[in-house]
Structure 1
Amino acid sequence: MDINTATVLVTGANRGLGRALAQELVARGATVYGASRRPDQIDLPGVKAIRIDVTDPASVAAAAEEARGISVLINNAGSSTGADLLTGGWDAVRLEMETHYLGTLSMIRAFAPVIEAQGGGAVLNILSALSWISLPTVGAYSAAKAAQWSLTNAMRQQLAPRGITVAGLHVGYMDTDMARHVAGPKSDPADVARAAVDGIASGAAEIVVDDVSRQVQADLSGGVAALYPQLG
């Protein structure tokens, strides 16, 4: 895909990876819509701010009417409540699923016809190493990301005949507000954004960005014993 001629919509573009993605795309010549619940927070030169709350179907539908000519959709909007599955509040658990799974599905349903009308294009879902492995301390987030990964695999098959490539990007911790409490190694969002746009341009189905994600992916074939050695 020629990024220079693409019209791209990025959700969660007001900060973190979403902001880095919008910057990278503009630098490569793309026309970029930056979406957020607070579009006034999007101040990037060359980015058209648009309001989208991915958990609100009416908001998504209105955006699909407003943002014309989209050929690439990047589902980056996220939440991180820190809820575990045994003791976390139900509202927090629901928010994770409504944002990462149902929100992504809502966006794809609304924008797939728009992308198809351009002759095809691409969807990129920003996933996580936690799509493949669950940590009890963020069990709700892990479960929602696993559901989003499953959705990505289903959409990949359904949208391919319509000329739409669906890709998933897996990454561990990034140096963003969402991971500010993490003391370990973190990827630079600018580096992740470059890898993401390179993947879209090449038509990649899966973009595995860092060593953490690559290791977890390799451990999948080893089953529970490889993923959760602490269980013996």
Structure 2
Amino acid sequence: MNILEQQIESLLFIAGKPLSIRRLAEMLKVKPNEIREAGDALLTRYKDEDRGIHIMRVDDQFQMATTPHSADLIETFIKSEQTGELTKPSLETLTIIAYRGPITKSELEQIRGVNCSLILRNLLIRGLAEAHFEKKLKTTVYQVTLEFLQFLGVSTLAELPEYEKLHNDQRLRELLERDMQQANTEALTQQTADIIDPETHAVDEDQAEIESDEEEQDDDDNEDDE
């Protein structure tokens, strides 16, 4: 398996939905024909190895999915995910989505302080939360569903206790913005550190010390002349 096939495989796995050849080509910065060839090769490889997961291609889209012979097992698993009681972390996550949504995964994790990938997947499976791509933010955002409102017996989110106060909490908004700015600053600092050559800096610092010593010596000589 070449690098391009590995990259396509990774993207299909993490996406969990169909990805077009054009989108894959843009993300991987290659020509659409290269994506088409690598995707077809990946499809054939999965088929030949008779795995529990296979690659599907419909028109110009590829998607990773479970194989038909695992259907009964998958159905049992999904039912258990849908009918079991929500855990405390799931309830916390759902509450944040309800009061702060639409909300990005990164914002959600900043509030909770932990990775929320598995919890979000569970809430999506249960139909209590939904996700869509926000073009303006260029990322996926999450919000609760009508099924969630029906479950609580309310018609709108505004009927939730203290919804307006918590939804528009300026302190929380400022905290999220500050954390995001701090994360961007740390990333920029790290990038700068990676670019700078430590050895070059060491030479510069030594040279600076030599020049400083020479300046001090010149000052001493001038004082002696006086």
TM-score range, shorter chain: under 0.3
Using CA pairs below 8 Å that are at least 6 residues apart, which structure has the higher relative contact order?
1
Task: Tell me which structure has the larger Cα radius of gyration.
Answer: 2
Q: TM-score of the superposition, structure 2-length normalised?
A: 0.22
